[in-house]
Structure 1
């Protein structure tokens, strides 16, 4: 495997699947001796994501998204 002129390499699909490395996965590099290790980072959830996760599934009104959007758009042209 070669490093591109931009310093990029392709992680083989078998390794990506085994480790759950999908697009936008945060990773970090660690150098130990003459070896470089790549590992997933533990991403801290943002306050917004934490709030959304807390609210998920808590709605009490049984309306579809289209019904809610129609209510919010009443009187608007």
Structure 2
């Protein structure tokens, strides 16, 4: 890996997936003796919970209401 002119480094995809880092995650860089560690900023939540949090509010507006969807699913 190489540090760019802005002080940025790209974490390889394999490591991001293995350690649960996703686009948009907030991280801290922590000094640990002579090393630096990249850690999740907030208490780690499950990957699924982070996906749901990011998707919340992104559904298309003006779609069917909850009652209409339930009618379609239940077929009443």
TM-score normalised per structure 2: 0.55
Q: Which residue of 2 aligns with 1:25?
A: 25
Q: Which residue of 1 aligns with 2:67?
A: 62
Equivalent pairs counted in the alignment come to 49
1:3 and 2:8 correspond: no
Q: Which digits, 9 at most, give the CA deviation of each residue in 1:12-48, with x for residues without a partner? A: 11110011111100111110111000011216xxxxx
1:8 Cα shift?
0.6
Corresponding residue SS for 2:37: strand
CA RMSD of aligned residues (A): 2.1
Q: Unaligned stretches of 5+ in structure 1?
A: 44-48, 53-60, 65-77
Q: Which residue of 1 aligns with 2:37?
A: 37
1:63 Cα shift?
2.2
Q: Unaligned stretches of 5+ in structure 2?
A: 44-52, 57-65, 70-76
Q: Which runs of 4+ in 1 moved over 4 A?
A: none
